[in-house]
Structure 1
Amino acid sequence: MQSASKDPARALRTPRAAGVTGVLFALLLATALVLVRIATPVDAAGAADWLADDGHRDALTTALGLVPFAGVFFLWFMGAVRDYVGHGGDDRFFDTLFLGSGLLFVAMLFALAVGVDGLTGGGGVSPPGAPPGDGQQPWELGRHLSLSLLGDYAMRMAAVFTVSTTVIGSRLGVFPRWLDWLGAAAGLVLMFLVSSVPWSELVFPAWVMAVSGYVLWSSFRRTDRSTAAT
């Protein structure tokens, strides 16, 4: 539980900051992941044609431009959640996992955005009148790199972050039982299924949204109780 010596006003602001930044991050990440998944599907058939459309490429470029802001919101979310749960208590192991996996996730997310951005520059799309298959090798390389970064690396770090946050929150009693189970299930999906089940990476922003919604709701409930007590 949170320390009783913590300033009450600051204790109320912390979960609200975590909730707001978590919601913003989840929305931005989900949008980017949907467009990235459409542009780089497991089955490459039709993906190059999708990218050849200027409207689709503009939408993907816009989504990739939002990734840096998603990373900033995630770092803010990390800081607010870490303060909310008391810096992991005395468990330095899970506290280290929390920080390390979160920072590595942001790094992998930025690398993923750079890889997918290379696909929108025309390197993987054959120009009009080009022979069939021209530009296919660069396209396949970029697609494979993007999918590897997404499923094998970024989401695995997201899994470690999810599990470590859930363990810390559960041990300190700041998360309800249903959120503990949700975090455990999300961590398992992100660790073992994300590379083989398309779209399962959306579990991560969904979990962040659930955590953010809970801490926002709990902060406003605490405010109502404080107002009623006075």
Structure 2
Amino acid sequence: MRSSGRTAGQGLRTPRVAAVAGIVSALLLAAAIVLVRLAVPEHPQDAAEWFADTSQRGSLTTALALVPFAGVFFLWFMGCFRDYVGAAEDRFFATLFLGSGLLFVAMLFVLAATAGSLLAVTGFATHSPGQGRDELWQYGRHFVLTLLSGYFTRMAAVFVLSTTTIGHRLGVFPRWLAWLGYLVALVLLLSVSSAGHLELVFPVWMLAVSGHILVSALRTRVSPSAGPAGSAPPRSHRDD
């Protein structure tokens, strides 16, 4: 009988590429936010410019193409973080982490669907202009910006807060990263809709966390205290 390379009962190991998922998701998310902010006007009187300028609609189309990949890689980032902290996470904050993360991805996809509807309404109104064209555009514009600057940022704030608290209490986040997380959560939670591009602090925080996890994984891999081949290195991520 052919022996298997994996012993019975041995669990699956997180792929090494998962450590890069947060970096990729942060870059895609930042690009999508910038494109949406540049494409969708903040002032209602810019309706004529929106219908005349096709480059704005092109930017929004590009943003919609990036959103699904940003959401998929964000789920990878969540899985990578849970593997990083191990099985010692608090149930309360673990529930907040999972709930806010999944709601954030759902909110991201709802935002993309709403922006896509705005493009569809714009295309219909451009070919068949009528009295209600501006009203439809105003409704779609307000819906997109409200989702982005209101509900999107609040879910991101809860996710940052729960993730930072887990990392800080378990000692896997350095002090500077914990302070950065609490500051980003406070900014996202108290942000107002008029503060454009403030949502970018979330992907910046994701870059910081993903970079720290990646560096810690590389240090653990090359650590001389890893022991004999095949043995698991000690799990210590404290880096104050």
TM-score range relative to shorter protein: 0.7 to 0.9
Of the three residues 134, 138, 151, the one matched with 1:136 is 134
Q: Aligned in 2, Cα 1:65/1:129: closer, same or farther, shift over 3 Å?
A: closer
Q: Which runs of 5+ in 2 are unaligned?
A: 1-9, 229-240
**For 1:90 and 1:126, how far apart are their aligned partners in 2?**
52
Indicate yes or no: 2:119 matched with 1:101. Answer: no
For the pair shown, the structure with the greater C-alpha radius of gyration is 2
CA contact (8 A) 1:51 1:125 kept: no
Aligned position for 2:211: 213
Aligned-pair identity (%)? 56
Number of aligned pairs? 218
**For 1:59 and 1:45, how far apart are their aligned partners in 2?**
20
Aligned position for 2:23: 23
Deviations 1:184-225 (A, max 9, x none): 000001111153411100111110011111111122222232
Secondary structure in structure 1 of the residue aligned to 2:120:
coil
What letter corresponds to residue 204 of structure 1 in structure 2?
A: F
Q: Aligned in 2, Cα 1:64/1:52: closer, same or farther, shift over 3 Å?
A: farther
Secondary structure in structure 2 of the residue aligned to 1:42:
coil
Secondary structure in structure 2 of the residue aligned to 1:123:
helix
Between 36-45 and 73-82, report the one with greater CA deviation: 36-45
Indicate yes or no: 2:177 matched with 1:185. Answer: no
CA contact (8 A) 1:32 1:66 kept: yes
Q: Aligned in 2, Cα 1:168/1:17: closer, same or farther, shift over 3 Å?
A: farther
Aligned position for 1:118: 117
Q: Which runs of 5+ in 1 are unaligned?
A: 1-6
**Aligned positions of 1:27-38 closer than 5 A:** 27-38=27-38
Give the structure-1-normalised TM-score.
Answer: 0.84
> Looking at both structures, which has the greater relative contact order when contacts are Cα pairs under 8 Å and sequence separation is at least 6?
1
Aligned position for 2:4: none
Give RMSD over aligned pairs. Answer: 2.7
